[in-house]
Amino acid sequence: MESWSVDQVCNWLLQMVQSICNDSLILLLEEEVSGAALLALNDRMVQQLVKKIGHQAVLMDLIKKGKQTEGLALPCEMPTPESPGATSGNLDIHLPTEQMNCFSPTENDKDGSVDERVLKQKKHLKHILARYKAVQWTNSYFLPEFPYDVKCILAERKCPDHSKRIRIIEFLQADMTKYLEGSLYPTTQQYNDVVNALLQAYPFLDEDGSGFAQNIYSEDLGNGMNTHINWFQEEYMKTARNWVEVDNRMTKTLDLRRKIINNRMPLKEVLRLFPFLRCPNQLFREFQLLTHKDIYKKTAEILEAYSESILTSYLVKDNPVSIVLQKSLKQHMEDDVLKDLKMTATCLLLPDVFGEDSFLLAAVNEEVKVSTPVLEVKYPFNVNMCEFSLYMEKEKVAQLDDCAMALAALLAAYHVFGISFPQRLHNTLDFLESLIFDMKCPQLLAAKSKKSGKM
The answer, yes or no, to whether residue 239 has pLDDT greater than 50, is: yes
CA distance 323 to 320: 5
Q: Which amino acid is at 95?
A: L
> What is the mean predicted confidence (pLDDT) over 150-163?
76
What is the chain's percent helix, strand, coil content, to nearest 5?
60, 5, 35
Residue 399: strand pairing partners:
389
When the pLDDT of each residue in the chain is averaged and rounded to a whole number, the result is 75
> Among 99-113, 337-351, 363-377, 412-426, where is mean pLDDT lowest?
99-113
On whether the CB atoms of residues 22 and 131 are closer than 8 A, the answer is: yes
> Among 26-40, 199-213, 432-446, where is mean pLDDT lowest?
199-213
On whether the CB atoms of residues 122 and 79 are closer than 8 A, the answer is: yes
Question: Hey, is 210 helix, strand or coil?
Answer: coil
CA distance 228 to 327: 51
pLDDT given at position 215: 45
pLDDT given at position 77: 45
pLDDT given at position 242: 95
For 361, residues 6+ apart whose C-beta sits below 8 A from its C-beta are: 347, 348, 350, 351, 374, 375, 410, 425, 428
User: Which residue has better confidence, 134 or 196?
Assistant: 196
CA distance 69 to 67: 6
**Burial degree of 67 (CB within 10 A; 0-12, 13-18, 19+):** middle
pLDDT given at position 455: 39
Question: Hey, is 274 helix, strand or coil?
Answer: coil
On whether the CB atoms of residues 62 and 15 are closer than 8 A, the answer is: no
pLDDT given at position 263: 74
Residue 387: strand pairing partners:
378
pLDDT given at position 29: 65
pLDDT given at position 131: 47
Provide the Cα torsion 399, 402, 403, 404; round to 10°: -100
pLDDT given at position 102: 37
> What is the mean predicted confidence (pLDDT) over 401-421?
94
Between strands 362-364 and 374-378, the pairing is parallel
> Among 76-80, 198-202, 290-294, where is mean pLDDT lowest?
76-80
pLDDT given at position 134: 41
The answer, yes or no, to whether residue 116 has pLDDT greater than 60, is: no
pLDDT digits (tens, 9 = 90+) for 289-338: 999 999 999 999 999 999 988 988 888 888 899 889 888 988 888 988 99
Q: Which amino acid is at 55?
A: H
**Burial degree of 167 (CB within 10 A; 0-12, 13-18, 19+):** middle
User: Which residue has better confidence, 22 or 315?
Assistant: 315
Instruction: Convert 80-112 to b/e letters by CB count within 10 Å (16 or more is b).
Output: bbeeeebebeeeeeebbeeebebbeeeeeeeee
On whether the CB atoms of residues 275 and 229 are closer than 8 A, the answer is: no
> Among 92-96, 141-145, 343-347, 396-400, where is mean pLDDT lowest?
92-96
pLDDT given at position 168: 78
The number of CA neighbours under 13 Å toward the Cβ of 251 is: 9
pLDDT given at position 363: 93
The answer, yes or no, to whether residue 430 has pLDDT greater than 80, is: yes
Q: Mean pLDDT: which of 177-191, 278-292, 438-452 is highest?
A: 278-292
DSSP 184: S
Q: Which amino acid is at 206?
A: D
> What is the mean predicted confidence (pLDDT) over 60-65?
79
> What is the mean predicted confidence (pLDDT) over 20-33?
63
DSSP element (H, E) containing 389: strand 387-392
Of 129, 143, 137, 156, nearest in space to 92 by CA:
143
CA distance 157 to 419: 43
DSSP element (H, E) containing 398: strand 395-400
pLDDT given at position 249: 93
The number of CA neighbours under 13 Å toward the Cβ of 279 is: 16
Tell me the percentage of the chain whose pLDDT exceeds 70: 66
pLDDT digits (tens, 9 = 90+) for 250-290: 999 998 888 888 877 788 888 988 999 999 999 999 999 99
pLDDT given at position 403: 93
User: Which residue has better confidence, 156 or 112?
Assistant: 156
CA distance 396 to 278: 9
Long-range contacts of 266-275 (CB under 8 A, 24+ apart): 266/182, 267/392, 267/393, 267/417, 268/182, 268/393, 268/395, 269/182, 269/183, 269/184, 270/417, 271/397, 272/233, 273/184, 273/185, 273/229, 273/232, 273/233, 274/229, 274/232, 274/250, 275/232, 275/233, 275/236
The answer, yes or no, to whether residue 240 has pLDDT greater than 60, is: yes
pLDDT given at position 43: 73
pLDDT given at position 98: 38
- Distance spanning both ends of the chain, measured CA to CA: 79
CA of 237: how far to CAs of 90, 231, 277, 285, in Å?
A: 45, 10, 14, 20
Provide the Cα torsion 380, 381, 382, 387; round to 10°: 20
Confidence of residue 24 (pLDDT cuts 50, 70, 90): low
Confidence of residue 133 (pLDDT cuts 50, 70, 90): very low
Question: Hey, is 301 helix, strand or coil?
Answer: helix
pLDDT given at position 65: 77
